[in-house]
Amino acid sequence: MQNSHIEVRHLRLVVAISSEGNVTRAAGKLHLSQSAVSHQLLDLERDLGMRLFDRVGKRMVPTIAGARMVVDASRVLVELAELERRVAEQRPDARIPFRITASCFMSYSWLPTALAHFGEKRPNVELDIVLEATRRALPALIADEVDLAIVTEPPRDETYACAELAVSELVAIASPDHQVIARCKKGTLRWSALHDCELLVFDIADPDLVRLDRAIRESHRAHTGERLAAPLQVRKIPVTDALLALVRTGRGVGIVDRWAVGPSNRAIRVLPLAPRASRTFHAVWRAANPRRLPVDELVAVIKRAGVRAIRSAPRRPTA
């Protein structure tokens, strides 16, 4: 132990093996070969004089000492990244990185314009859109992979600050000749009318999918007295233009926020749903704001853009 030392690469190594569960996936995450990761782990365990992982089946499971090292390594890596950012920000020509993500980022057609407007106002801030975190926006914020997340379910934790951005009504959209159009009564479509349709949704979070499933099943039971046993046909389409194109060609019924339709999509029928349903979007960030990011300014810009998008969306049924 006298000649042993722990380097930053060792911290990343144990965290990667612990999170990925095996050496092969850890190697991919670290951009190393499998043999290089195995040798690094063996060398580290030899220097420390103890095992850090046990192989249980196909998984690498931390020992007691390994688990302790994973916890401490995770903390040190976060602190090191914060230190690196703070030092980099002291350069005279430095731009402050501001990492943001949003659940199903591509469904906010108005958001890139809002971010560009903010960038013009604050050229010293470098907005970094973390697209790979869109399916795990809140976990990414908790893991300090992003500085601000737009979500529909904010955390109930005083560690995080939250601001409501917009409340968007959910609507069904279909082509004029789709069979679901005939089921629209008095300007609205009951959720139960969707039970046998192929439903097109954005790459929304699992809680939103659960609510969608529940709304259709409860409506079906309320109006037929029967329990809907068959699974729903739900297809995730991550890009707005692709989803709208499928709807226009009659290849499904979209369930989207009203703002996703836009005033120019006249070949699509907008069907308000009954009972009415909506989603509330929130911006969430660390309350301490340790890097003193201009969060309030960015949130204000996004909120104004969201409100404008809702106001410009079709307000009356087009069926």
What does the domain layout of the chain look like in residue ranges? 8-88, 96-166+280-312, 167-278
Mean pLDDT calculated for residue range 146-170: 90
Of 62-71, 214-223, 236-245, 267-276, give the range with the top mean pLDDT.
62-71
Query: Could you tell me the two tokens for 19?
Result: 């999170």
The two domains 8-88 and 96-166+280-312 share their CATH topology (first three levels equal): no
Q: What is the mean pLDDT of the chain?
A: 86
Which tops the pLDDT comparison, 165 or 265? 165
Residue-wise pLDDT tens digits, 114-140: 999 999 988 889 899 898 888 788 888
The CATH number of the domain covering residues in 96-166+280-312 = 3.40.190.10
Fold classified for 167-278: D-Maltodextrin-Binding Protein; domain 2 (3.40.190)
pLDDT of residue 89 exceeding 70, the answer is no
Task: Decide the pairing of beta strands 253-257 and 233-236.
Answer: unpaired
155-159, 236-240, 303-307: range with lowest mean pLDDT: 236-240
Q: Is the pTM of this model over 0.85?
A: no
Q: Which residues of 151-170 are buried (b: 16+ CB within 10 A; e: fewer)?
A: bbebeeeeebbbbebbebbb
pLDDT of residue 27: 92
**CA-wise closest residue to 19 among 101, 77, 81, 102:** 77
In angstroms, the CA 283 to CA 161 distance is 8
Which tops the pLDDT comparison, 119 or 4? 119
Residue-wise pLDDT tens digits, 268-308: 899 999 998 888 889 999 998 888 899 999 999 999 988 88
pLDDT of residue 319 exceeding 80, the answer is no
Residue 262 — very low, low, confident or very high, per pLDDT cuts 50/70/90? Answer: low
pLDDT of residue 92: 62
CATH of 8-88, one of 3.40.50.300, 3.30.930.10, 3.40.50.2300, 1.10.10.10: 1.10.10.10
